[in-house]
Structure 1
Amino acid sequence: MSQGQERRSEKLLPVALLGLGILLQLAGCSPPPDPVVCTHGTSNCTVTNTYGFFLCPAANVTYPRTEKELVAAVAAVAAVKRKVKVATKHSHSIPKLACPGGHDGTIISTARLNRTVRVDAEKRLMTVESGMLLRDLIEAAAAEGLSLPHSPYWSGLTIGGLLATGAHGSSLWGKGGAVHEYVVGLRIVTPAPASQGFAVVRELGAHHPDLDAAKVSIGVLGVISQVTLALQSLFKRSVTFVKRDDSDFADRVAMWGRLHEFGDMIWLPQQGKVVYRQDDRVDVSTPGDGLNDMFLFRANPTRATIAARAAEELLQENSTDTARCAAAQLQADTLERLAYGFTNDGASFTGYPVVGYQHRIQASGTCVDSPEDGLRSACGWDPWIPSSFNDNSGFSVALSKAPAFIADMQRLRDLNPAVFCAGVDPRIGVAFRYIKASSAYLGKAEDSIAIDIVYYRSHTAGMPRVHADVVDEIEQMALRKYDALPHWGKNRNIAFNGAISKYPKANEFLMVKDRYDPDGLFSSEWSDQVLGINGSPNITKEHCAIEGLCVCSKDSHCAPEQGYFCRPGKVYAKARVCSFGKDY
């Protein structure tokens, strides 16, 4: 082999490894580790999230198995006025929702509050404990001939966690795609005076005025014990993915969600394409036993995951836009060819439409389902191995403003489409889901389109990512120009700065918070900053803009020693982003 051929092979190696990472899947899997780790039994603990983004100390953790034990756990901290936070089984939120603050706080884990309490099939009501995984909830409902109408796409969330952050699927039909819209009752344990034993259970029915505060609460009101959901009779869905040119994307965004009950979109900016999900309810007698088993949520062989991450790092740190775009094209084409993990019978894909029962289509997450295999395989983001490490910016723009926002993003793309090959995860592109206006105080005030952008993150603090200014400009454009609302369970610090002022009923929420937890035991420095009570989530220091801790106002907030300087946005001139000197 000639030297030229060797160099070409070396350049193509990371591309091939990234494609291989999609194709190799295993039946076994090491489930994600417990987010809470203690050195002395249940004392001297730390809590993190499933990605290992943060590590917070705590004095101790409790694992209540019943509501009575949960009340006792809350009473114990309330009696001594100790800070407390709730942790879930897998802890998927990116912000520090589970950090009590300082070294003296307590963590209450809902991992063992994971049972079905009751099912009323005739009234189509189901009550579950708050630590129950979405996966188990939808399967238990299906066994009773019922369906949860909408849910997030990842089934490894708990019902309490997804309610706290306002997690959702995609729909403008009926009550919309957010799970909290189907909550008709819940029981929440909050601190109380000594005369009431330091903790009480508050039961909130469908018409209780506080339900709109409790069903999206970012965990600052107390601990949800049980949730009652209004379900529907078991139904089927028919799914087809259609890829089109993006020339009319801005015009179609407002109408697609009206045409298809579960419709969503994936924009592939570097290709100039949009993948439209044509997803509708069909009669239960329609033939088909399809399954949604998304590749990104399957178990990956550990060696393949490590190799894929190494290839990704090589493309980021020592490659060209041409090579990055080749890798992006390969990954996108591979996922399209494999129908994104959808199969017609649970085993193979034979063509669209894929028809299946709601509980087999609405969410997936098999990498947390499988038995332990000694870490020979794991979820693709498992922190125990050098795995995928990404940030996720998630925000919603009012549907009335969405066409103009998309047109602005396309203008930015048209300046240099190749920069999106590194700026945005090519497996996901820019994802769009629909959310209906909600009565929840921390929900959406009007019909909106939710945008998700996943992108590379270095394990080295302060290390710039290639073409980071693309996502940063889009994010600032959305939040500032189009008044976007951040997803409570995603995002870097900058997305939350001043966000609470955009919620018309924020004051009503804070009044409920003051009544339920007057001493702020379930609050933290982070939640106080986000809710506008005290301080700002922004942290200004060297390299802060690289980490999403601040919006740069001077070069030192970027990485000038590596050629990254603070510059205005290229389309949204009011943005301030860290741009590589040669690119600007």
Structure 2
Amino acid sequence: MVKLLWVLPLALLWGLKAWSAPAKVLYLTDYSNGYHDYQAQGKATELLLEQQLDSDVSIVGRSYEELTKFLGKENFGEGYDLIVYNACLADTREYVWAENIIRQTRDLGVPMILLHCAMHNFRGTSSDLGFFGRRKLDADRKAWENEQAGKEFPIWWRFSGVDSTSHSLFQKKLPTRIETDHPIVANVPEGWVAPKDELYYNITRTDDVIPLLSTDDGKELLAWLHPVGKSMVFATTLGHKLETYENTVFQDLLGRAARFLTNRLDDQESANRLFYNYSSSIRCNPSDVITASTIAEVQDAVRLAVARDRALKVVSIDNPNSYSEVLCPEKGGIVINVAPMNKLLNVDAVNKMVTVQPGITIDQLGRELEAYKLIFPTTADYSGITVAGGMGTGAHHSSLKRHAGIHDYVEKLTIVDGTGSIRILEGAEAREAAVHLGYLGAIVEVVLKVEDMFKLRYGYKAGSDRDLEQLIEQEVRSHDYARVSWFVGVGRYIVDYYDQVPVEEAGESYHNLWETSAGPTSIFGSLPYDALNRLPQIVQCGAAGVRANAWAAPIKAVNSSGREPVGFAHRMLGSTCAKGRCPWDFGAVSRTQELAIPIAELQNWMQDVRGIIAARKACFPVLGVYMRFAKASDSWLSSSHGADSMMFEIHIPKETDPNRYEQGTEVYDEIVQMTYQKYQGRPHWAKNSTPIFKDTLVRYGRAADFVDLKNELDPMGRFENEFWNVIASDSALKKPYPGCNLSRDCICQSDADCGTGYQCAPGAFFDEAKVCVKK
């Protein structure tokens, strides 16, 4: 084993701790390659890097065209901390691509990881060519000198460090030998046998290659470092099959290489944990998840974060019910999970007040209050959300007779602030701060206003949407709770509603939407959603028509009429589903977009939506344009702050293929952007993709007061995250990359943002929108 004293200057350049901000990683690949499962490898590498590096990964190469067009850009790596290259341009003679790849490391100083077949790129520049190969290389070199005067002809193996053009015929397990005591291979066991893989034969290597790992006979290098210009390359010939990426030793090797190249190896000797929301659509990358069962334990966790200078975020359920990145700490931060704090602590039946811990769900609260003949009078449709989480993101039902938001019933908040101290807000001050987004500290107790128990009768009406603009507000105001599913693509609507009835009226009916919808998905999984996205549009419109004309009430009638079932309010307004038995557990995942506008703008907004549908049809097959309503709220960051409001939601059947758009996406995006720009729409904090939140905070009249309170309770910004930077400005939006709109990381500005086969175009009706459409 070679000692590292002779490479100490390199270690000083690349191996020491320099910063702990998330690394921006560019991952280059080619999903269309038939010899490697690059899509699965890309996903595995993205997860690995986010877990072990604290990184934001941008993937380019969902098609050959997307990759090669990107490689044609001279400075494509500018602004990135690391490039990972996992593609196989073996026999191409487009040497501008080779030069541009090399340039990123040599001239711009961006370190690079080369994986497996990357070593066989541009094989026509090998040092071991036959007669005809040498003739081609000479001709190519002369053509280059004529066209690229003054630029050295790019020899690929001199960049990678090792010349290789062939591999073993059969894949086999590879016993290895460690060549050095470099920290990248510190955790590779002596005699480690790599998973079955192709063995790449070495022809020669440059003099400055730093061997890390070889075959047990020392003949073939398997991993090495190679200084190139202003930075360095880490290369490994391992990685033909996904099995290698799933091997824990290889994961550690790759993670350590990434941290070494980006000066982070000392920051994080243990890997981050991956932390997901309930449907696995949002992934966070904390360094630790600390479970707290008491207020004292929450205080200890905050003080630990202060001592370690780590960012913080608090969740009140194991897998939070949020579609947005509001729930994630800064990468490498700490998550405090207060899910065990889920008790009903006190009931003041005289003053109609209850004290609860943050992790109690709305469903659990309702059931426990039954013994006291009390009720908490609102919930989201899914009542498995917690009090602290639902309140903190503005979760709501739908009513213009009573307050619809959980936050509107808050009387007192007990908070552990950013220093670990206890702070208390009461009365109007508590309600104003109730939509807290997790930025005020850790909510550890909440006092809520409750009511005497009552029952609700459910009903619905359907009809043509011809005059809906004139009817809708009056219809909603005439019921205690009411929602509208507007199937604008097929000209129909449904109003379903609840009216209060005496508690003595017969009926024990209950909401069962999540229970019944899980049945088909447990059998068919994502197949129905895939069909809606991939079959002709007439299928979506047919599904919307069936939904609008044969409405299935989300209620199980018990001891009451099936047409107008009656039940206790807390059981009628929402429901939950057992973990592992929910629709999303079987692959049926929706992508949701929700924005709010004042009701005063509703008629004009509906006319604009009709204009969009007239210009480019879509049918909204799940719930139509799902419209809910809320009285004006005193909570500073409530979507209905200051005005009675309509919140519309589009449930989009999520496409399982990451290279495809959901059918109707261009229409949905135009509606959302029109609402945001023309009507100053307020996006729901726990839904929507990140780019739509840019500068959102200024849309709230009391935002400055919220910021002042946040700065008072968390003066060091311990609870801030990237999402905060987006809503307060645009500083945390990802740099655009090819296909970023497809990944919901950007609103397109150029055709490249849309991915292969699509172009960025103005909205068909609202010109200021930018949407991706087929070429």
Is the shorter-chain TM-score for this pair beyond 0.5, marking a shared fold?
Answer: yes
Matched, 1:153 2:350: no
Deviation at 1:322, TM superposition (A): 2.4
Deviation at 1:415, TM superposition (A): 4.1
Residue among 200, 203, 222 paired with 2:421: 200
Deviation at 1:487, TM superposition (A): 0.3
Matched, 1:529 2:726: yes
SS at 2:279 equivalent: coil
Residue among 317, 324, 329 paired with 1:95: 324
Q: Which residue of 2 aligns with 1:111?
A: 339
Q: Which residue of 2 aligns with 1:405?
A: 605
- Per-residue displacement from partner, 1:314-366 (whole Å, max 9, x unpaired)? 4423x2122333344445556x2xx33312207xx853222111111121113
Distance 1:237 1:315, change over 3 A: closer
Residue among 593, 601, 612 paired with 1:393: 593
Q: Which residue of 2 aligns with 1:467?
A: 664
Task: Point out where structure 1 has 5 or more consecutive residues left out of the alignment.
Answer: 1-36, 193-198, 369-374
CA RMSD of aligned residues (A): 2.3
| Contact in 2 for aligned 1:44/1:58 (Cα 8 Å) | yes
SS at 1:226 equivalent: strand
| Contact in 1 for aligned 2:622/2:653 (Cα 8 Å) | no
Of 276-285 and 502-511, deviating more is: 276-285
Alpha-carbon distance between aligned partners in 1 of 2:710 and 2:466, rounded to the nearest angstrom: 46
Alpha-carbon distance between aligned partners in 2 of 1:524 and 1:579, rounded to the nearest angstrom: 33
Q: Which residue of 2 aligns with 1:351?
A: 562
Letter in 2 for 1:46: L
Task: Point out where structure 2 has 5 or more consecutive residues left out of the alignment.
Answer: 1-50, 53-247, 249-269
Residue among 479, 482, 498 paired with 1:263: 482
Letter in 2 for 1:165: T
Q: Which residue of 2 aligns with 1:16?
A: none
Deviation at 1:240, TM superposition (A): 0.4
Alpha-carbon distance between aligned partners in 2 of 1:280 and 1:331, rounded to the nearest angstrom: 23
Alpha-carbon distance between aligned partners in 1 of 2:517 and 2:662, rounded to the nearest angstrom: 26
Q: Which residue of 2 aligns with 1:24?
A: none
| Contact in 1 for aligned 2:507/2:567 (Cα 8 Å) | yes
Of 287-296 and 222-231, deviating more is: 287-296
Matched, 1:186 2:413: yes
Deviation at 1:115, TM superposition (A): 0.5
Alpha-carbon distance between aligned partners in 1 of 2:702 and 2:642, rounded to the nearest angstrom: 9
Report 1:439-458 matches (<5 A).
439-443=634-638, 444-458=641-655
SS at 1:409 equivalent: helix
| Contact in 1 for aligned 2:622/2:652 (Cα 8 Å) | no
Letter in 1 for 2:689: R
Q: Which residue of 1 aligns with 2:769?
A: 575
Residue among 572, 579, 583 paired with 1:380: 583
Letter in 2 for 1:72: D
SS at 2:466 equivalent: helix
Q: Which residue of 2 aligns with 1:254?
A: 473
Q: Which residue of 2 aligns with 1:438?
A: 633
Letter in 1 for 2:542: A
Deviation at 1:114, TM superposition (A): 0.5
RCO comparison, higher one (Cα < 8 Å, 6+): 1
Choose 1 or 2 for highest CA Rg.
2
Distance 1:48 1:275, change over 3 A: same
- Per-residue displacement from partner, 1:229-287 (whole Å, max 9, x unpaired)? 11110011111011111011111222223211201111112321110123211222222
| Contact in 1 for aligned 2:624/2:650 (Cα 8 Å) | yes
Alpha-carbon distance between aligned partners in 1 of 2:399 and 2:453, rounded to the nearest angstrom: 18
Deviation at 1:223, TM superposition (A): 0.7
SS at 1:219 equivalent: coil
Number of positions where the alignment pairs a residue of Structure 1 with one of Structure 2 = 506
Q: Which residue of 1 aligns with 2:711?
A: 514
| Contact in 1 for aligned 2:380/2:396 (Cα 8 Å) | yes
Alpha-carbon distance between aligned partners in 2 of 1:150 and 1:131, rounded to the nearest angstrom: 17
Deviation at 1:414, TM superposition (A): 3.3
Distance 1:298 1:68, change over 3 A: farther
Alpha-carbon distance between aligned partners in 2 of 1:574 and 1:76, rounded to the nearest angstrom: 47
Alpha-carbon distance between aligned partners in 1 of 2:520 and 2:773, rounded to the nearest angstrom: 36
Distance 1:327 1:257, change over 3 A: closer
Alpha-carbon distance between aligned partners in 1 of 2:763 and 2:313, rounded to the nearest angstrom: 38
Letter in 2 for 1:321: Q
Alpha-carbon distance between aligned partners in 1 of 2:369 and 2:445, rounded to the nearest angstrom: 16
| Contact in 2 for aligned 1:398/1:449 (Cα 8 Å) | yes
Deviation at 1:539, TM superposition (A): 4.4
- Per-residue displacement from partner, 1:39-63 (whole Å, max 9, x unpaired)? 9xx9842111111123222221111
Alpha-carbon distance between aligned partners in 2 of 1:446 and 1:538, rounded to the nearest angstrom: 33
Alpha-carbon distance between aligned partners in 1 of 2:540 and 2:597, rounded to the nearest angstrom: 29
Distance 1:475 1:302, change over 3 A: closer
Percent identity over the alignment is: 27
Alpha-carbon distance between aligned partners in 2 of 1:168 and 1:566, rounded to the nearest angstrom: 35
| Contact in 2 for aligned 1:188/1:225 (Cα 8 Å) | yes
SS at 1:97 equivalent: helix
